[in-house]
Amino acid sequence: MKSAIAILTLWRDSEPYIHNSLNQFAQLEKVLSDHYQIYYSFYENDSSDNTASILKNWLDQRNGILINENLFAPKWGSVPSLKRTMTLASYRNKCLNSISNIKYDYLFVVDSDIRYSPNLLQVMLFKMDKYPLLGMITSNTVQNVKDVFHNQNLCSYYDSWALIDINGNPGLSFSSNPFLVNHDRLLWEAKKPVIVNSAFGGAALIRGALMRDNQLFWQGDTGCEHWHLCRSIRSLNYFVVVDPLLKAEITHRKIVTPDFILVNFDKTRLKLSYLGNRSLKYATLNIILRLNLAFLYLLLKIKRFLSSKAIFQRARNILQR
């Protein structure tokens, strides 16, 4: 009997790249169809283009379901807002609930605008089958934004907000090596998987029995919606891993300028990590860096609050027209 893979994806105004995304799924089917049965769970909302009809026509020839709604929801972009993460969590959970009657062995959660090779999922499946305690494996997805830390010739890791290392440190933004602690940084440079508290990266494979048997779900009221899911997986004594060899990429259609405050905040964190518990001659520098970090953190909180408020005001204006 074939194993079952459920593929979960969110869509909105996706027409500029939707055919490439669906072709990637078709390529996955060619690679995996001899051994796996694939089910799709798509969620689309508030598209002003032909996204919904394209998805419906494509799914007519496959095992899958399309949930589409008109919620008049704002477009959030990549703002780290709790309203955004709560909304995304609800979308993902709707997808998950729609396949509750399917006994899938694996859940592949992938962003609709991520590009990857046809063998990405195949390698993920191989590694998950090889390591029984691997509960979730995520990709090394890079974005068309250069590394502002060490190597301008490299693209930066895409999903630093979802990334929390095993010690509870957030990932570094706009860096090709998104880890803070030297041990993890060395593993990453050596192309070895890194065990983390949380990650997503735009493409993740989750052991199906964990999701189904324990009724796991996304929750975004404390931050990134993937934090809660990964914490739930780890509470069941399974590992969450980021694998640098599982490469994918995303191309932003608009130029992304690295946030000056966030970059300096993360650079300060990295400097403090390098200092560690060194001799007293670094004590003054340590204090200066910590004061600088606190100031930058305050600026970030203010900026994020204002950004979130501006998004709500734009949405309110649209609804009042």
Largest CA distance in the chain: 68
- DSSP code for 102: S
- Residue 109 pLDDT: 98
Report for 75-89, 260-274, 304-318: range of highest mean pLDDT: 260-274
Residue type, 39: Y
Q: Would strands 3-11 and 36-45 be described as parallel, antiparallel, or unpaired? A: parallel
Q: 316 vs 169, 236, 310, CA distance in Å?
A: 36, 42, 10
Cβ-Cβ contacts under 8 Å for 203 (sequence gap 6 or more): 108, 109, 110, 111, 114, 116, 120, 138, 139, 141, 246, 248
Q: How far apart are CA 44 and CA 38, in angstroms?
A: 19
Question: What percent of the chain has pLDDT above 90?
Answer: 76
Q: What angle do CA 48, 51, 52 make, to 5 degrees?
A: 95
pTM of the model: 0.90
The identity of residue 213, as a single letter, is D
Kindly write down the DSSP assignment for every residue of 108-139, as one continuous string: EEE-TT-EE-TTHHHHHHHHHHH-TTEEEEEE
What pLDDT score does 79 carry? 58
Least-confidence region, from 45-54, 80-89, 98-107: 80-89
Mean pLDDT of 3-18: 97
Evaluate if residue 279 carries a pLDDT over 60: no
Whole-angstrom distance, CA of residue 151 vs CA of residue 143: 14
Check pLDDT > 80 for residue 272.
yes
- Token pair for 184: 């993890």
pLDDT at 281: 60
Report yes or no: 233 and 198 within 8 Å, Cβ to Cβ: no
pLDDT of residue 309 exceeding 80, the answer is no
pLDDT tens by residue, 203-238: 999 999 999 999 999 999 999 999 999 999 999 999
> Token pair for residue 96?
């998950």
- DSSP characters for 20-55? HHHHHHHHHHHHHTTTEEEEEEEEEES-SSSHHHHH
Q: Render pLDDT for 134-189 as a digit per residue (tens, 0 to 9).
A: 999 999 999 999 999 987 889 999 999 999 999 999 999 999 999 999 999 999 99
Average pLDDT of the residues in 56-70: 96
β-bridge mates for residue 178, sequence order: none
Q: How many Å apart are CA 43 and CA 97, to the nearest integer? A: 11
What is the pLDDT at residue 302?
85
What's the residue count for the chain?
321
